[in-house]
Amino acid sequence: MFGEKMNYKKIKMSILLFSISLLSIFSLIQTFNLSIFLGQEKNNDVQNLKSSFIDYTNATVISDGYGGIFWNDGFSQYPAIAIDDSGKTHVVWEDSSTGPWGTDNEIMYASYTEATGWSNVSVISDG
């Protein structure tokens, strides 16, 4: 009976030491991953603007009117905006205007630089 208690205590102690070892290993792995993450540059920071900071008095329509030609007779929706490392602004959106590309919805693209202003709209999908 005394021998069984000793074996039980040894097994219990072994399980406890094994658990502590696993926790230590996982803790080191998490710390290592966190230090790698913190050392990386953040290129995709999300910026939230308060509506009081936005002024629409100088809004520019980029989906129509390039060169004085107006063609957009449909809906423009679901915009996405990205700014690359050189400061160039890229905008895409879904458009349902009828044109040489057909009558279905298309994905449109325009870009902006301070030097050249807004580009003409391009269809980057067909379908």
Using DSSP's 3-state secondary structure scheme, residue 71 falls into: coil
What distance in Å separates the CA atoms of residue 112 and residue 126, rounded to the nearest whole number?
23
Give me the chain's average pLDDT, please: 73
What is the pTM assigned to this prediction?
A: 0.53
Biggest distance spanned by C-alpha atoms of the chain: 98
**Residue 51, both tokens:** 């509506």
CA 11 from chain centre, in angstroms, equals 50
Residue 92 phi, psi (nearest 5): -125, 155
Residues in the chain: 127
Q: Which helix (H) or strand (E) holds 81?
A: strand 76-83
Tens digit of each residue's pLDDT (9 = 90 or more) over 62-82: 877 767 777 777 888 888 999
Tens digit of each residue's pLDDT (9 = 90 or more) over 17-46: 766 766 666 565 555 444 444 444 555 555
pLDDT at site 24: 63
The DSSP output letter for 94 is E
